[in-house]
Each structure stands twice: as C-alpha cells, then as structure tokens.
Amino acid sequence: MPVSPLPEVTSAASVPSATDVVVIGLAEAIGSPVLVGAGEDLEKAWAKKGGTGLLDAARALGALPKPGTAIVLPGAPLVVVVGLGGVDVTPEQARRSAGAGVRAAAKLAGDKGVKVSVSLEAVEPEVVRGVTEGALLGAYSYAPTTRKEAKPGVTSLTIVTDAAGAAAHVAAGVIVAKAVCTARDWVNTPPNALYPETFADEARALVRGTKLDLEVLDEKALAKGGYGGILAVGGGSSRPPRLVRVTWAPRGAKAHLGLVGKGITFDSGGLDIKTAEGMITMKCDMAGAAAVLAAVAAIADLNLKVKVTAYAALAENMPSGSAYRPSDVLTMYGGLTVENANTDAEGRLVMADALARAGEDDPDLLVDVATLTGACMVALGERTAGLMASDDETADRLLDAAEASGEPFWHLPIPEEISENLTSDVADLASSGKNRYGGALTAAAFLREFVGDERSWAHLDIAGPAWNGKGAYDYTPKAGTGFAVRTLVALARDLAG
C-alpha cells in the first residue's frame, strides 16, 4: 500500500546554515505588523543586499498578518512569510501558520527537494507542539499509485526554538502528526487496495513491535459471536467483514477510554444504491476507524498513562444477491433486534455491534467516531464535526480536547422525542427515522441504544471534515484529512492527568 514519505524533523536554537527555505511569521501589533522569528542573521543577510528591510520587502509583496496567508521572498535562503494573527499566538494559530508556510515552501522544491526551517519564536510547550504538528502536516503529500517518480518535496524540517525541553515537545508533536498522516494515507488508499481484510493487516503492521495488543475477528468469529449488524452490512461483498480490537494497557493507568470507529472501506449504498456522484468519494467512509487506530498507536507512542481499548468495525457495503435488504430484521450483538430501514444507513449498524461489545470492557468513557450522516454536513458544513453526548459534562470534556487540538466540533442535542422515529412494529427498534428531519440526531439516538444509560459516551460525526474535496489550506491537504486523531490524543492526555 502506498505510504507517503515524511521529512525528518529536528529542533534547533537557530536556523541551520544548510536551510533552503525559512518560514517566519508576520503578527499584528499596535501600530503596524511585526516580523516574528526572523532573527538577526536573517535580517543582516537582507541588509547586505542593499535593498529594503525584510519587513518592508514582505509588506511590499503583500504579506498580511492574517492566519493562513503566505508570501515568498526571493533570496538565499528563500523566505516564506506567513500570517500569525495577533502576537499572542495560540497553538492552533501556530499550527495553521506553520502548515501554510511549509506548504508554500514545498512548492519551491526542485528535483532534490527542499530543507525547511520553521522559525516562529515558539516557547510554550503547547505552541512548540502546534508548530511541529502544523509543519509536518503541511509537508504531507499522498503518494499516488503511478509509474511516475514522485517529486521529493520537503526533505527535512527544523523547528527553530530555544524553549526548555524543546526536543521532547517536538518529538511529541511528530508522534501526533505522523498518526494523523497514517490516517490520511488509509483514507486516501483506493478501495480495491484497502478493504476489511487488508485494513486489518494494516492494523497488525501498526502494532507490530509495540506494547499494543491486537485481536481480529473474521467472518466466522463474527457469526459465532452474533455480530448481526457487521455481518449484514458486509454480506453483499465478496470481501468479508472484520472487527479489529487494539488495546493499550500501561501500568499505572487510572482511567479507561473506549474508542469505536466506523470502517466502511467502500460504501456503494448497498441495494439503496448511491448516485455515481455520491459514491466517488466513498473510500473515505472508513475515516472513523482510521482515526481510532492511528490515535491509539500515538497514545502508546506518547506513553500516556490511560488504558485505551479501540475497536474498528470494518465492512464493505455492496449490492449483490447476498446483500441485506430494507425491511430485514437483524439480531445485533447482545440480542437487540433492528428493522433495517435503509441499506445506505449502514454505518450505524456496524457501530452498534462494536459499541455493544466495547461496553463489555467497561470503559470510564466511550467515544465513537464515524463519517455517519450527510445530515450533519447540512447542519454544520464541511469543516465542522458534530458532537453528541450522554451528558453535558462529557460533551464539555470532548470540546475541551477538541479546542486543545485545534479541531472544530459543535455540540448538538439528542432530544428525547427523536427516539420516537426509531419505533418498529416488527423489531425492538428501526435503524432510521421516518422522515428526513434531524437525521444526525436520529442516528445518534440509535447508537445510544447500544451504549447503556449509565455510561459516559460521546458520538463524533465527522462526515464533513474527514474529507476535503476542495483545495488544500493551512495544514489540511486535499482528500483525506486525518480528522479526529488529534482530539482523541488530547482526550487521552487529559484522562491520563
């Protein structure tokens, strides 16, 4: 499977002499913008040219303090000036600006690539991690399946900082960013290469040589265990489903986090088939599973003292003579029966099985991640994910983790009356509502039935931000984004104390 090459990342107190491109910042200050991270050596180099100063040159070429903006100043080394916003830079401002700067630098790479230094005067640990994450995520480029030789792009990254413990903060940022890039690679992989069996193989490769434990249930084990939802959704494909369970159990852990990810490796819609336009991006319907698997690996690499049990429910939703049908009654894991209303509402069925199983592990907090509903995209757009939870305290905890990681979520309710949509005359409940209103809320209400009333639980609907169908921006590339990995890591860091 293609693996996108990532540059080596190091830290240094000053810009190395071998640097090809330096990324510096422009921040808004009282009176006029100021350069951030230029340093005396770079300023002197520009002064020797006999022209205008570095700030004047940047402003003459249109540099702005607005985050996400970037302009290139010619020279040796080349200088990329990125907008930082205000002078009191937050971790997310640093992440966005570093990403935009490195993406601009990557465009300057020739046949040999470029060595990039990011100098944004990061000092606080969270900001150093933010710069590191943004820089590495901005350097990401998916390795396509082609006989053409890929251009080298950014070959090395130096995070310029004199912060105490800088090397450790940079290393932590690298772990998180690499996990996001792993999730991106999986989402971007063509569905004829990534399907339930091969995705399970990817999980095996991920945990090899680590302290993570892995269990994979194949179709026979799923049938023996009574996983009616996963088996029904995967029944129409020649590629049978899998349930992957990965566990991180460090000594000294005082909390237990359960994670469940939707892993529909391709969603045709089944017998309720999608349009051609609606189907073309459906290799991304496993982004939730990608997020939880990548996150648990990062949590282990960071050695966070929190137990994590992650489930990836993997199936391919295809139409065939063995496909499940609308009006089928399915017996889910644990015995609850479900009248299937729509074969294109398959994600909640595989998630229901996995949530019921995950509850048996008795986690203190259970979080599921899924590209679940188009309704959530209608409500919140393409860049904001929906968050629904068992209670406000749990929702606030997830929102705090999301804010720390720089990923946008919005808290949505699960009104009690929405459950009325799930009544069935022939089963314990129906899989979908009886009208199109509140579709994201109805899906969450369905999942809640498999969690239990006493458990702290959060549902993350990432249907919008998991895939970027437009142009790259900041540290976000086109196509798979790796969304939710950072939030899950931040949540684990919070639970670890």
Catalytic positions: 274, 348
Give the residue from 374, 366, 361 showing the smallest Cα distance to 443: 374
Q: How far apart are CA 232 and CA 66, in angstroms?
A: 50
As given in the structure block, the two tokens for residue 66 are: 């607005």
For 371, counting Cβ atoms within 10 Å of its Cβ (0-12 exposed, 13-18 middle, 19+ buried), the class is buried
Tell me how far CA of residue 242 lies from CA of 204, 223, 229, 230, 482, in angstroms. Answer: 13, 11, 12, 8, 21
Going by DSSP bridges, is the β-strand pair 329-331/307-317 parallel, antiparallel, or unpaired? unpaired
Q: What is the DSSP letter of 421?
A: G
Place of tokens 């409500």: 379
Angle between helices 485-496 and 287-301 (to 10 degrees): 40
Three-state SS at 275:
coil
- d(CA 355, CA 367) in angstroms, rounded, equals 9
List the Cα angle 140/145/148 in 5-degree steps: 90
Tokens of 396: 């606030």
How many whole angstroms separate alpha carbon 369 and alpha carbon 260?
A: 6
**Are the C-beta atoms of 362 and 382 separated by less than 8 Å?**
no
Residue recorded with tokens 């989402």: 187
Helix axes 287-301, 196-207, angle to 10 degrees: 10
Q: How distant, in Å, are the alpha carbons of 80, 83, 169, 496 from that of 159?
A: 14, 17, 10, 27
For 22, 26, 53, 115, 429, the CA distances from 77, given in Å and listed in that order, are 7, 18, 15, 10, 64
